[in-house]
Amino acid sequence: MSDPKANKSLSDNSCSQGDKSRRLVIASTIGVSAACALFPFAAGLTSILDPVVRNSGSTTKVPWTKVTSVVNLPDDGKPAKFEIILAEVKDAWTTYKNVPAGAVYLSRKGDEVIAFNLKCPHLGCAVDYRSKTNDYFCPCHNSTFGLDGSVTDADSPSPRGLDTMHTKIEDEFVWIRFQQYRPNIADKIPLS
């Protein structure tokens, strides 16, 4: 390409028939080589993108999961932490039965149970309940949340309050529809 004459012949408009067919040869060579070189990448593209198109099923129907006996929740609204053991969790090729999949803070007032996902809505660290200040605190980036889950400090990096989930009391047990949510956005959108 550094030969000026060659450059000239390539950019010459009044090219001969031979030049034209030579151009075709060059274009074909580049095309064929590029197709061959890109083929392996193209072959793997769908498998790389599979997680984007795969429906994990978490939005379709979140099952009720039994958490704990109601007696384990004081009725003064003081929160307590509980593991969530899901009946079934699928991880790619493995299906786990009865496996701890996360944790929640539950607090009860009468028959009403509020559940907060332990994961901070900022970037997913586990929040702690602080009994002294009666609030929630994230030990990673110092977000603080009130007992109702709302962000209490204007300097808290979390864009929304703690994530609540549906709960019910049935047969003296607390049940929950356990879910994870997209971190670090103002809206609470389930992960799916």
Smallest gap from Cβ 162 to another protein, in A, equals 14
- Of the candidate residues 6, 26, 35, 49, the single one contacting another protein (CB under 8 A): 49
Token pair in block for residue 65: 């999961």
| Binding flag, residue 146, another protein (CB under 8 A) | no
**Residue of 131, 130, 106 lying closest to 118 (CA atoms):** 106
**Residue of 106, 88, 114 lying closest to 166 (CA atoms):** 114
Q: Which of residues 113-142 bind another protein (CB under 8 A)?
A: 118, 122-126, 128, 130-132, 139-142
> Among the residues of the chain, which ranges form H helices?
4-11, 17-53
| Binding flag, residue 183, another protein (CB under 8 A) | yes
| Binding flag, residue 33, another protein (CB under 8 A) | no
| Binding flag, residue 31, another protein (CB under 8 A) | no
Token pair in block for residue 150: 């709302």
Strands (E), 27-159: 65-69, 80-91, 94-109, 112-117, 128-130, 135-137, 144-145
Interface with another protein (CB under 8 A), residue total 44
User: By the criterion CB under 8 A, which residues form the site for another protein?
Assistant: 48-49, 51-52, 54, 56, 58, 69, 71-72, 80-81, 83-84, 91-94, 100-103, 118, 122-126, 128, 130-132, 139-142, 157, 159, 180, 182-184, 191-192
